[in-house]
């Protein structure tokens, strides 16, 4: 298939293997239980070939076509996205600086008819994701820039170690790097109660191999991940090809809009909705970023 026009969810997703509309049947229950097991134990699960092989080339091409719309701004960051003042202890892992060289295509620059847009907004898909994460409800972000993004990591760049602000993330690789560009993560290295700065410091200083997992992802695989407690990164990309991944952001509460400062950092601009929502943000825990 070369075009995504008029493609139903059944044509897009391998629903023989992943019966999204029949989650209470034997096949659906088995897929859910497998996904929940991975999320519980490791904070991560991968559903290989979620997109049917006949559409994987379209998926790759559609995203490669929009990748030049990414906002580039190599920023110096740390794991916690925190300001580093003179009071911060010398050995605090927040003092380790990285270059965040990945770039995001914002949702308002992703065509509504593309495969990733249609999957993001599909209610059957959303119900499936909610069940995997054991959530009663799940909502698209109200944020018209960050709800759905394409993450572009060009050769020579990396998406360095970090924690996510969101409790859970849904993503899909759409183009592999020739070399490098591996998703690496340290399951549950921190909790809502304990930052574990010693463990985090070990990873940042290259002593975290024993606790680091590396995922082999192919275009069209769906990844569910809990990134609030698991330190993770995309390792430096080598070779000629950029690594592309679609990130589907949802929240448990309706109406979520990103902060002005973070939005400007990621996309180089804000919309009136970000200015209006400023100051109304609610956080569920007191962890650094
Ligand atoms: O692109 C990926 O696979 C990971 C992206 C990520 O960790 C993030 O956007 O927070
Ligand atoms: Fe992340």
Which residue lies with its CA nearest to atom 2 of ligand 1? 245
Q: Read off the pLDDT of residues 48-68 as tens digits, 9 standing for 90 and up.
A: 999 999 999 999 999 999 999
279 pLDDT higher than 90: no
Ligand 2 centre from 71 Cα, in Å? Answer: 17
Q: Read off the pLDDT of residues 210-238 as tens digits, 9 standing for 90 and up.
A: 999 999 999 999 999 999 999 999 999 99
* Ligand 1 pocket residues where CB is under 6 Å: 151, 159, 164, 171, 183, 232, 234, 245, 247
Ligand 1 atom closest to residue 102's alpha carbon, by position in its atom list: 1
| Residue indicated by tokens 């007191």 | 286
* Neighbouring residues of 61: CB distance < 8 A, sequence distance ≥ 6: none
Contact 155, 238 (CB under 8 A): yes
Q: How confident is the model at residue 2 (pLDDT cuts 50, 70, 90)?
A: very low
Which residue lies with its CA nearest to atom 7 of ligand 1? 233
- Rounded CA-CA distance 186/277 in Å is 33
Q: What is the mean pLDDT of the chain?
A: 93
DSSP H or E segment with residue 30? helix 26-42
pLDDT given for residue 179 in this prediction? 97
Ligand 1 atom closest to residue 104's alpha carbon, by position in its atom list: 9
Ligand nearest to the CA of 102: 1
Backbone angles phi, psi at 74, to 5 degrees: -65, 115
Q: How confident is the model at residue 262 (pLDDT cuts 50, 70, 90)?
A: confident
Instruction: Check residue 180 and give left, alpha or beta (phi > 0: left; psi -120 to 50: alpha).
Output: left
State pTM to two decimals.
0.93
């Amino acid at each position: 298939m070369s075009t995504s026009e008029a493609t139903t969810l059944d044509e897009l997703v391998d629903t023989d293997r992943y019966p999204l509309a029949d989650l209470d049947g034997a096949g659906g229950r088995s897929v859910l239980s497998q996904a929940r097991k991975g999320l519980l134990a490791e904070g991560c699960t991968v559903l290989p070939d979620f997109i049917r092989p006949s559409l994987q080339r379209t998926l790759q091409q559609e995203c490669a076509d929009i990748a030049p719309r990414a906002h580039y701004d190599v920023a110096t960051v740390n794991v916690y996205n925190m300001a580093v003042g003179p009071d911060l202890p010398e050995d605090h892992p927040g003092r380790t600086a990285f270059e965040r060289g990945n770039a995001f295509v914002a949702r308002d620059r992703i065509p509504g008819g593309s495969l990733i847009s249609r999957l993001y907004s599909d209610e059957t898909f959303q119900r499936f994701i909610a069940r995997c994460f054991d959530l009663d409800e799940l909502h698209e972000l109200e944020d018209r820039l960050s709800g759905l993004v394409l993450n572009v990591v060009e050769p020579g760049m990396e998406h360095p170690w970090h924690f996510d602000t969101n409790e859970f993330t849904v993503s899909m690789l759409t183009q592999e790097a020739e070399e490098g560009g591996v998703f690496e993560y340290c399951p549950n290295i921190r909790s809502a109660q304990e930052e574990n700065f010693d463990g985090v410091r070990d990873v940042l200083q290259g002593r975290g191999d024993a606790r680091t997992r590396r995922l082999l992802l192919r275009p069209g695989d769906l990844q569910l991940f809990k990134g609030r407690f698991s330190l993770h990164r995309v390792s430096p990309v080598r070779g000629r090809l950029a690594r592309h991944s679609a990130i589907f952001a949802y929240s448990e509460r309706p109406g979520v809009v990103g902060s002005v400062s973070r939005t400007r950092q990621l996309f180089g601009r804000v919309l009136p909705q970000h200015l209006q929502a400023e100051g109304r943000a609610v956080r569920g825990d007191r962890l650094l970023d």
